[in-house]
A and B are shown apart, each in its own frame.
Chain A
Amino acid sequence: MQLNFAAREVALKLVYYGPALSGKTTNLKALHELTRSESRGRLMTLETKDDRTLFFDMLPLVFKTDTDGGAMNLRVKVFTVPGQVVHASTRRLVLQGADAVAFVADSQISETENNAASFLDLRTNLKELGRSMKDVPLVIQFNKRDLPRVRSDEEIDELARRGKEPVFKASAVNGQGVIESFFGLLELAWRKLDKEHDLTQKLGIGPDEFLDKAAANLGYEGKARELADACVGGAKWRGGKP
């Protein structure tokens, strides 16, 4: 996070991580489609000719909102990492300074091992950057729910209940679950920063209010809570509040 109190500007960095071809770029493209044009910048994709992400994709979301302490600027940059194994060093570079990570997993049963390998890779890279999985807010998205031979809802629900982090189900190619995952991630990131930097006090805006304003600016007036709650598991993540 970059926090500029004088300009009342907060810059967040959210990173979409996951194995190759799990739909990270598709998530970003859908997010671009599904947000208000006034609040989003141009989607920057650095792709090779076969549509594989070479370095990263980046979508800037920028909006201004009123708070009890005056107007504030929020800048959210959403990044994807390149999923292919060979781009390990680029993944680490992009991951630098991430405020929260959305792990986009491929729901297909055949991809189970790739999901796990990529998750371990995330853990290794965070460690290399001097951070730990425990300190980085995380949501998991099971993408490609529309495909056949995917892990069943029951299985995911059962696993999610045992896990710590919220789990979202999505079909990014159809735009489903994308906004939900994003708001889940944004809320998680903001609550953590609020706790660490006392943003409620310093900026005059609490997490719930923040999320409402963000939703309104992105075209989802009054729906923040509903969207962020569209997950399974992660019961404890909102600071004990179910």
Chain B
Amino acid sequence: MSDEPAPLSTDVVGDTPVALEDVVDREALEDLCKSVHALFGIGVRVYSSEGALLANVATELELCRAVNEVSGARAACGTTVSVAKSVDPGEAGEITHPCFTGLAYRIVSLEHEGRRVGRVVLGPFAPAGLREAPPSLAQTDKRLDLAQATDLLSRVPRVKSEALGRIAAHLKTSLELIIFSSHKAWVTSKLHLYSVRESYRELQDKTQRLEQTLARLKEVDRLKSNFLATMSHELRTPLTSIIGYSEMLAEGIAGPLNEEQTEYVRTIHSKGEQLLRLIMGLLDLSKLESGTMSLRQAPTEITPILKEVISTLAPVARKKEVELVLDATDVSCELAADAERLRQVFINLVDNAVKFTPKGGRVTVSSRVTQAPPPSGDDEDAMGAVLLAPLLTQVEVRVADTGIGIPPSERTKVFDAFYQVDQSSTREYGGTGLGLSIVKRIVDAHGGSVRVEGNEPKGTVFVVTLPSAQARRAALPSRVPPPAP
């Protein structure tokens, strides 16, 4: 939960009185009043419960104009109107308010959810029985011309009380419906807003929690890498002594050893070396994982690297009676790569290939320049292929053996650290299970990719593709290594 308080929505889902000003569309209200006015010729005014005038449709009667020309009468008119605005319409919600001219106003309260939210003031109109100006008119201001007033009064349309009641009831129903609909629309829009806000707040909370978790995981990951690096270092130091002293013993520096002793000491020495390689591998892996291994990227060609790898491993292959062939003529494509690291990649792959190939088998290392397939999918990616094609140049190196092969289902897992296809303790082929995961990480760090294919009729092909220096500089989207799974 964030500290921010939840949005206040009690106005919408509570019982706060509705303010007409907030919910009703004044134009719509005015339109309705106009149509009533046009039908019956009676002025219509709508007030909110706060006294705000929301609609005002009336044509001034000649009588009213005459009255308003006289100051005393004008004041009396003002008083009448303001009382009509505020007089309590009683339990029935409807009241007739007389004017000193003999005319009258009909006041009807507007209700919504059992509350009075406003009123309609109809009038002024002339009650059906009105014949002549009442005494109250004469008393209001001596300057009023009574004869003229009576004449004007006779021209005001007469409205029967029952008819007015029906008009008022109809108007009340219509207005209350407008209020209901408007309130409903108002509630909908407000609630929409609040739920969006609430959902946003929830998402924010979740994002924050995820961010915290991510930060914690990153920290744990960093600690793990640090631990690995430190441990590797601490393990290496005593191991160096073991290897060094066993080597000196084996060479007879401390005196001659018999055959059996020499064999024991050589075993200690070779196992020590094996352990050292494992530790070095772990160290490399942790550096690659933590991103602390810096690649010294420089203009590089693939052929010299492969030649060197072949010559390094030729004795091993010869000893195992496995044929080792390099097929890499005329591969000229500049790479931006760390030659030392690439050598490590191919030493690993070729060494593996030789290891898993039985006597009389064959390991072929071939390389060629290829074009990466243009990004497929959307039309947008396919655009401008003619411009982008030169940047899609890559070097593909294939290390093919005729060994035991890797089942298709295992082909992506072999790059996981410590993974062995044969997990049994009695497995035929030794190894730390780190080699291929290091290979993959180095290739990834070069913006390339490595995958496994089957070799016909049997065996495995490791395919490494490396983008050209040009492609790396352009950093095409397709070159960005995919995120680690």
The residues in B between 1 and 41 inclusive whose CB is less than 8 angstroms from any CB of A are 1, 6, 9-10, 12-15
CB pair B15–A93 under 8 Å, yes or no, is: no
Cα A56 to Cα B113 with chains together (Å): 16
Chain B residue, CB-CB nearest to A39 = B114
Cα A11 to Cα B17 with chains together (Å): 11
B113, B114, B115, B184: the one contacting A46 at CB < 8 Å is B184
What are the residues of chain A within 8 A of B10 when measuring CB–CB? 96-97
A44 interfacial by beta-carbon distance below 8 Å: yes
The residues in A between 41 and 95 inclusive whose CB is less than 8 angstroms from any CB of B are 41-42, 44, 46, 54-56, 60, 62-63, 73, 75, 77, 79, 87-90, 92-94
CB pair A13–B184 under 8 Å, yes or no, is: no
Give per-residue flags for A90-129: 1 if the beta carbon is below 8 A from chain B beta carbons, else 0. 1011101100000000000000000000000000000011
Cα A128 to Cα B115 with chains together (Å): 32
CB pair B15–A75 under 8 Å, yes or no, is: yes
What are the residues of chain A within 8 A of B191 when measuring CB–CB? 46, 55-56, 90, 93
Cα A92 to Cα B9 with chains together (Å): 10
CB pair B113–A90 under 8 Å, yes or no, is: no
Give per-residue flags for A131-162: 1 if the beta carbon is below 8 A from chain B beta carbons, else 0. 00000000000000000000000000000000
B151 interfacial by beta-carbon distance below 8 Å: no
A174 interfacial by beta-carbon distance below 8 Å: no
CB pair B114–A55 under 8 Å, yes or no, is: no
What are the residues of chain B within 8 A of A97 when measuring CB–CB? 10, 13-14
Cα A77 to Cα B12 with chains together (Å): 12
A2 interfacial by beta-carbon distance below 8 Å: yes
B100 interfacial by beta-carbon distance below 8 Å: no
CB pair B187–A55 under 8 Å, yes or no, is: yes
B114, B184, B194: the one contacting A44 at CB < 8 Å is B184
CB pair B14–A92 under 8 Å, yes or no, is: no
Cα A75 to Cα B10 with chains together (Å): 16
Q: Choose the segment among B75-83, B195-203, B334-342, B436-444 that binds chain A (4+ C-beta atoms closer than 8 Å).
A: B195-203
Cα A92 to Cα B188 with chains together (Å): 15
Q: Which of B1, B15, B194 has the most CB of A within 10 A?
A: B15
Q: How far is the CB of A72 from chain B (nearest CB, A)?
A: 13
Cα A128 to Cα B184 with chains together (Å): 27
B419 interfacial by beta-carbon distance below 8 Å: no
Chain B residue, CB-CB nearest to A90 = B195
What are the residues of chain A within 8 A of B1 when measuring CB–CB? 128
CB pair A55–B188 under 8 Å, yes or no, is: yes
Chain B residue, CB-CB nearest to A46 = B188
CB pair B13–A44 under 8 Å, yes or no, is: no
Chain B residue, CB-CB nearest to A79 = B13
B209 interfacial by beta-carbon distance below 8 Å: no
CB pair B180–A44 under 8 Å, yes or no, is: yes
What are the residues of chain B within 8 A of A94 when measuring CB–CB? 13
Cα A2 to Cα B183 with chains together (Å): 20
B216 interfacial by beta-carbon distance below 8 Å: no
What are the residues of chain A within 8 A of B14 when measuring CB–CB? 2, 11, 13, 96-97
Q: Which of A54, A62, A79, A89 has the most CB of B within 10 A?
A: A89
B192 interfacial by beta-carbon distance below 8 Å: yes
The residues in B between 236 and 284 inclusive whose CB is less than 8 angstroms from any CB of A are none
What are the residues of chain B within 8 A of A62 when measuring CB–CB? 113-115
Q: How far is the CB of A193 from chain B (nearest CB, A)?
A: 14
CB pair B13–A56 under 8 Å, yes or no, is: yes
Cα A87 to Cα B195 with chains together (Å): 8
Q: How far is the CB of A229 from chain B (nearest CB, A)?
A: 28
Cα A90 to Cα B188 with chains together (Å): 11
What are the residues of chain A within 8 A of B13 when measuring CB–CB? 13, 56, 79, 93-94, 96-97
Give per-residue flags for A1-37: 1 if the beta carbon is below 8 A from chain B beta carbons, else 0. 0100000000101000000000000000000000000
What are the residues of chain A within 8 A of B199 when measuring CB–CB? 89
The residues in B between 407 and 461 inclusive whose CB is less than 8 angstroms from any CB of A are none
What are the residues of chain A within 8 A of B188 when measuring CB–CB? 46, 54-55
Chain A residue, CB-CB nearest to B1 = A128
Cα A89 to Cα B195 with chains together (Å): 6
What are the residues of chain B within 8 A of A55 when measuring CB–CB? 187-188, 191-192, 195
CB pair B180–A13 under 8 Å, yes or no, is: no
What are the residues of chain B within 8 A of A93 when measuring CB–CB? 9, 12-13, 191, 194-195, 198
What are the residues of chain B within 8 A of A129 when measuring CB–CB? 6
Cα A121 to Cα B1 with chains together (Å): 17
Cα A42 to Cα B14 with chains together (Å): 16
CB pair B180–A42 under 8 Å, yes or no, is: yes
B180, B183, B187, B198: the one contacting A89 at CB < 8 Å is B198
What are the residues of chain B within 8 A of A96 when measuring CB–CB? 9-10, 13-14
Q: How far is the CB of B191 from chain A (nearest CB, A)?
A: 5
Q: How far is the CB of B188 from chain A (nearest CB, A)?
A: 6
Q: How far is the CB of B136 from chain A (nearest CB, A)?
A: 36
CB pair A60–B114 under 8 Å, yes or no, is: yes
CB pair B198–A92 under 8 Å, yes or no, is: yes
Q: How far is the CB of B182 from chain A (nearest CB, A)?
A: 12
Give per-residue flags for B92-113: 1 if the beta carbon is below 8 A from chain A beta carbons, else 0. 0000000000000000000011
What are the residues of chain A within 8 A of B12 when measuring CB–CB? 93
Cα A97 to Cα B191 with chains together (Å): 15
Cα A27 to Cα B183 with chains together (Å): 23
B15, B113, B194: the one contacting A13 at CB < 8 Å is B15
What are the residues of chain B within 8 A of A46 when measuring CB–CB? 184, 187-188, 191
Cα A41 to Cα B183 with chains together (Å): 13
Cα A194 to Cα B455 with chains together (Å): 85
Q: How far is the CB of B148 from chain A (nearest CB, A)?
A: 49
Cα A73 to Cα B111 with chains together (Å): 15
CB pair B114–A75 under 8 Å, yes or no, is: yes
Cα A56 to Cα B112 with chains together (Å): 18
The 5 closest A-B pairs by CB, nearest first: A62-B114, A89-B198, A11-B15, A60-B113, A90-B195
Given contacts A87-B195, A93-B194, 20 further A-B contacts (CB under 8 A): A13-B13, A41-B112, A44-B180, A46-B187, A54-B188, A55-B188, A60-B114, A62-B113, A63-B114, A75-B15, A77-B113, A89-B194, A90-B191, A90-B195, A92-B198, A93-B9, A93-B195, A93-B198, A97-B14, A128-B1
10 intermolecular pairs with C-beta atoms under 8 Å apart: A2-B15, A41-B114, A46-B187, A54-B188, A55-B188, A55-B192, A89-B194, A93-B195, A96-B10, A97-B14
Mark B residues whose CB is within 8 Å of A: 1, 6, 9-10, 12-15, 112-115, 180, 183-184, 187-188, 191-192, 194-195, 198-199, 202
Mark A residues whose CB is within 8 Å of B: 2, 11, 13, 41-42, 44, 46, 54-56, 60, 62-63, 73, 75, 77, 79, 87-90, 92-94, 96-97, 128-129
